[in-house]
Amino acid sequence: EKSGYKHFMLKEINEQPRAIRDTTLGRVSLDTGKVHLPEMQFSEADFRNASQITIAACGTSWHAGLAGKFMIERLARLPVEVDYASEYRYRDPIADPRAIGLLITQSGETADTLAAQAELAAKGSKTLAICNVVGAAITRKAQGTLTTNAGPEIGVASTKAFTAQLTALFVLALHLAQVRGTISDEESLHLVTELSKLPTKLASLLNINSPDAPGSSEGVAAPIRPSTPDRRSTTRQPLSVQCEELARLFHTADDFLFLGRGIHYPIALEGALKLKEISYIHAEGYPAGEMKHGPNALIDESLPVVCIATKDPNDPSSVLKYEKTLSNIQEVTARSGRVIAIAIEGDTEISQLVEQTIYIPQAPELLLPILEVVPLQLLAYHIAVRRGCDVDQPRNLAKSVTVE
Ligand code: M6R
C-alpha cells in the first residue's frame, strides 16, 4: 500500500505532481485559458454579483484558505474573509445573502467546518465546498463542489491534499476573475500555461519522474545527483538529501520559527504546523515584518528560522516583498539566528546572507506556494523520522476530527 515508501506521508508528498495535475485537468483549456467548473447550483450571475467570499476551514485547510484569499482578491478583485471554522459561529457573523460561503476540507467530515456551513446557510449564503472525498457530508449540503483529485490521504499530516486545495483555489480564483471581467484573455492563458507546468516542476523538485512524461511510472526516484557542498552554489542537491542533512543539524532544536510575507505567510504557518504535529517540536509561523514588533526577542544562536524568500521577477509587488524580507533576514542573522532560506533557483544574493538555502523552481507569485511548501513538508518529515516519532499517526491526533 505504501508502494515501497517507508511512510504514507512520504508517499503522499511524492504524489503531489499527480495530485496537482489531476486537480487541474479537465478544468482549464490550454488553448484559450478559460476555466470550466463542474456543474453546480451557482450561476455565473451568482459569481458576478457576489459581495464577498467567506472562507471557513480548520488546520491545514485554513492555511489553504488564507493563501486563497490572496489569489481571489488579486485576480477577481472580490473581498475575501477567512475564518477558523471552529470560531465562525461564535462571532455572530454579519448576514449577507450575496456572500458566498467557501468551505475547504480534505475529509469533508470535519465537525467544525460542517457547523460553519450550517451557520452560513442559516444566514442565507450559498455554500461551495473544496473537498477531497467524493460524497462527503459537506458536499451533500453545498450548492457546489470543487473536488480536489489528490486521491486518498492516509497520513494524519496533510500534504498532497493541501497542494491540491491551493490548486483548486487558484482555478476558482481564475474562474471568478474571468466571469467578473477582471482578467485579460492573455493573462488567463499565461496563468493557465504556468499552472500546467507545475506537475513537471514539482517532479523535478522531488527528483521523481513527472506524471506528464511519456511512459512515466509515477513516484519512481530519478538518479540522485552528487551533492555540492558549496553554499554559494545556485543549483540544488536533491531535496530529500538536503532535508535529511537539515534534519541532522536541527532535529534537537526546542523551537523553530517560520517566516513569510504576503501569500507566503500562510505557507510559513503550514510549515510550522507540519513540524509541530509530527515531530512535537514547538514551532511558530509569523509574518516576516512582524518580527520586530516582539518575536525578535526570541532570537538567539540556537533558534532555527525558516524564511520563505522567493520572488517572481515579473511581478513588482513580489519583488518589493522579497526586498523587505531580505532586510528581515538580516535582522535575524544580526542576532545570530540560524536562517534556512527557501529561495528561487539562481538566487545568489540570498545564499550569501544565510546559513542554508533550499532552492525551488521559478513560478508566478500566486503559484509559488505550491512549490515552496514541499521542502517544508520534507523538513518536518525527516526531523520527525530522526526523532523516532510515529510520522503517520502522531500522538493525540486523528485524521478526521468529527467532534466540535
Ligand atoms: O479534513 P479537513 O481538511 O477538514 O481537516 C482539517 C484539519 O483537521 C487538518 O487539516 C489538520 O490540521 C491536519 N492534521 C494538518 O496536517
For residue 210 and ligand 1, the question of a CB distance below 6 A is answered with: no
What's the mean pLDDT in 206-234? Answer: 58
Ligand 1: nearest atom to the Cα of 157 = 16
Backbone conformation region of residue 358, classed left if phi is above 0, alpha if psi is from -120 to 50, else beta: beta
pTM for this predicted structure: 0.94
Strand order in the sheet with 52-57: 80-84, 52-57, 99-105, 126-131, 144-147
Ligand 1 center to 119 CA (angstroms): 20
Mutate which of 9, 88, 106, 159 for ligand 1? The one with the most ligand atoms within 8 Å of its CB, which is 106
Our answer on whether the CB atom of 207 is closer than 6 Å to any ligand 1 atom is no
Question: 58 CB under 6 A from ligand 1?
Answer: yes
Rounded Cα distance, 131 and 140, in Å: 11
**CB contact at 8 A, 126 and 147:** no
132 lines ligand 1 (CB under 6 A): no
pLDDT in tens, 1-43: 888 999 999 999 999 999 999 999 999 999 999 999 988 999 9
Ligand 1 midpoint to CA 105 (Å):
7
How high is the pLDDT of residue 400? 85
| Alpha carbon nearest to ligand 1 atom 16, residue | 157
| ipTM for this model | 0.98
Mean pLDDT rounded to a whole number for the chain: 92
Is the Cβ atom of 110 under 6 angstroms away from ligand 1? yes
Asked if the model's pLDDT at residue 74 lies above 60, the reply is: yes
Catalytic residues: 399
Compute the distance between CA of residue 254 and CA of residue 269 in angstroms, rounded to an integer: 17
The tens digit of pLDDT for each residue in 224-272 reads: 343 334 444 445 579 999 999 999 999 999 999 999 999 999 999 999 9
Contact 387, 279 (CB under 8 A): yes
pLDDT in tens, 156-198: 999 999 999 999 999 999 999 999 999 999 999 999 999 999 9
Question: How does DSSP classify residue 264?
Answer: G
> Which three cell numbers mark 173?
480564483
Integer Cα distance of 341 and 350 in angstroms? 8
Q: Which helix (H) or strand (E) holds 375?
A: helix 368-386
